[in-house]
Amino acid sequence: MSKLQPIRGTKDILPDEYRIFETIVRVAKQTAALYGFTPTNTPILESIDVFKRTLGESSDIVGKEMYVFEDRGGDFVALRPEFTAGMVRSFISNGLHHSLPLKLFSYGPVFRRERPQKGRQRQFHQVNFECFGLSDPKIDVELLAMAWHIAEGLGLKDKLTLEINSLGDQESRQKYRDALVEYFGKYQQDLSEDSQRRLTSNPMRILDSKDEGDKKIVADAPAIKAHYTKAAATYFNHVIQGLEQLNLPYTINETLVRGLDYYCHTAFELTTDQLGAQNAVFAGGRYDGLVKQMGGPATPAIGFAGGIERMMALFEQEIQAKAPVVIMPIGEQAEHEALNWAQRLRMEGIYSEILYRGNLGKRMRKAGDMKAQFVLIFGEEELAEDRINVKDFIAGSEEPLPHHKVVSWLKEKIA
C-alpha cells in the first residue's frame, strides 16, 4: 500500500511552519485589537443557503468550488468557502444589530475546490475582519490602514501593493452593467466560454478574466468611473483623500472587481509579485447590502481577509522554538527527584524537559540541540548538600544554587 498522503490541495502544518502560522494570527489579532476588533468564531459547517445567493450563483466559488454535501439527516451543508457570509448569518441569528458598531476578528480554515498550485490550496486559512454598522468612508480608510499595519508588523509591507477600486452604489453598478453588456455583446463570439456565460450572469466579472483573448477585449471596455453616481464618486474621493492623509500607498485599479457578488463602493487587494498568479494576500471591501439581503436589518458593513498560507510564503523572519530548561539527574535518587523538579518548574510557568539517562557529554549535546539556555545538574551528593548546579549554556558559566533559590533565579534570568 502506498504511503497515506493528505488530500490533494490540503497540507499538514508542521511545527516550524506552525510557529509562523501562530505569529501571523497573533500579530493580526493584536493589531486588530488596536482598531477595536474583538475575536469571535462561527462554525465551519453552514447551511448551503448561507453562501449560495450571497456570494453569487455565478461566482466561481458557488458554481464550482464549494464543498457541499448532504448530511445523514438529509440537510445540504457546506464547508465554509469564506468567513463573511457566515459572519453575517451569525450577526442576524444573534440579533447583534442591537450592539452596533461591531468589529469582529476571526481566523480558521476555509475550503474551496480550486485547482491547487503555488499559493492556492483547497483547505487554507484566513484571518478575517468584519465591521458592522459604520458607513463613513473614513472607516474604509481605517481598515486599509489596519491592513497595512498588520503587513508592517509581519515584515511584509515592502512586498505588497494596495490596489483599490470603487464598485459604486447599486445605481452606478446597474448603469455600468448595461454599458458592459452592450460593449461585450459586440465581441460575444470572441469571448472565452466562461466570459460568455458571465455576459448574462455577471458581466463585471469578465473584467477579471485571466484568458489572454478576453484580456485584449477587456483593455478597451468602458471604465466604471464614468458610470458612478455623484454620491458614489464623492464616497470614493473621500476614501482616496483619507489614504493620502495617512500617507498610505495605493494604486487605483479600475479592473479590480472581486470574485464575490456582495461588494459595493470600496474594493481592494494587497497584492504581491512573489507568488505567481495567486497575487492577492489581503482582500476585501464594503458590502452594505448583504445583511439586508440575508434577512437582517439594513446595516452597512465592510471587511477583509488575509490568506495565512500566502503570508507564510512571504514571511522571512525565523521564529525559534521555545527553549527549555533541561534537567539532568545523575543516579537513581536524582532521577526520582528530577520528576519533582520538572513539575515544580512547569507549575511556575517554566518550560522544562528531563534528560534522564546516558553519558553526560551526550546529554549536553542533546541539550544544545534543544537550544536549552539553562541546564540543572544534580546527583546524590548535590541533593544531600542542598544544591543544584545550574549551567548557563549561553554564558558558558555554572554556579551552585541552594534548592530554594533555583526557581526565582531561573525566573529572573528567563524574564
Q: Is 122 or 363 the residue whose CB approaches ligand HAM more closely?
A: 122
126 lies in the site for ligand HAM, by CB under 6 A: yes
**Grid cell for residue 304:** 477583509
Question: Exposed e or buried b for every residue in 359-380, given b needs 16+ CB within 10 A?
Answer: eeeebbeebeebebbbbbbbbe
Rounded to a whole number of angstroms, the minimum distance from the CB of residue 184 to ligand HAM is 23
Instruction: From 178-186, 235-243, 299-307, 377-385, give the range in contact with ligand HAM by CB under 6 A.
Output: 299-307
Closest alpha carbon to 101 in 304, 303, 305, 299: 299
Q: What are the E-state strand segments in 246-300?
A: 251-252, 264-271, 280-286
Note every long-range contact of 151-158, with CB atoms under 8 Å and residues 24 or more positions apart, other chains counting: 151/270, 151/281, 151/282, 153/27, 153/30, 153/31, 154/23, 154/24, 154/27, 154/311, 154/315, 155/315, 155/316, 155/317, 156/272, 156/281, 156/311, 156/314, 156/315
Residue number with CB closer to ligand HAM (60 or 169)? 60
Beta carbons within 10 angstroms of residue 250's beta carbon: 17
Selected binder of ligand HAM within 56, 203, 284, 296 (CB under 6 A): 284
Q: How far is the CB of 60 from ligand HAM (least distance, A)?
A: 10
Distance CA 24, CA 20 (A): 6
- Residue 31 interacting with ligand HAM (CB under 6 A): no
Q: Please tell me whether residue 53 adopts helix, strand or coil conformation.
A: helix
Distance CA 157, CA 324 (A): 33
Decide if residue 46 touches ligand HAM (CB under 6 A).
no
Number of residues located near ligand HAM, criterion CB under 6 A:
26
Q: How far is the CB of 197 from ligand HAM (least distance, A)?
A: 20
- Using the rule CB under 6 A, give the single segment among 121-129, 161-169, 340-348, 359-367 that binds ligand HAM: 121-129
In 3-state terms, what secondary structure has residue 59?
Answer: coil
> Strands 76-79 and 45-47, how do they pair?
antiparallel
Among 112, 149, 205, 363, indicate the residue that binds ligand HAM (CB under 6 A): 112
142 binds ligand HAM (CB under 6 A): no
Contacts to ligand HAM from residues 151-210, by CB under 6 A: none
Alpha-carbon Rg for the chain, nearest whole angstrom, is: 28
The continuous run of DSSP H or E covering 200 comes out as helix 193-201
305 binds ligand HAM (CB under 6 A): yes
Q: Which of 280, 330, 345, 355 binds ligand HAM (CB under 6 A)?
A: 280
Q: Shortest Cβ distance from residue 69 to ligand HAM (Å)?
A: 19
Helix (H, G, I), strand (E, B) or coil at 268: strand
Stretch that binds ligand HAM, among 70-78, 119-127, 139-147, 213-221 (CB under 6 A): 119-127
Q: Which is nearer to ligand HAM, 85 or 217 (CB)?
A: 85
Nearer to ligand HAM, 148 or 282 (CB): 282
DSSP string covering 324-339, please? PEEEEE-SHHHHHHHH
Query: Closest CB to ligand HAM belongs to which residue?
Result: 307
**Of the residues 21, 25, 37, 130, which one makes contact with ligand HAM according to CB under 6 A:** 130
Residues that bind ligand HAM (CB under 6 A): 82-84, 112, 114, 120-121, 124, 126, 128, 130, 259, 280-285, 287, 303-307, 309-310
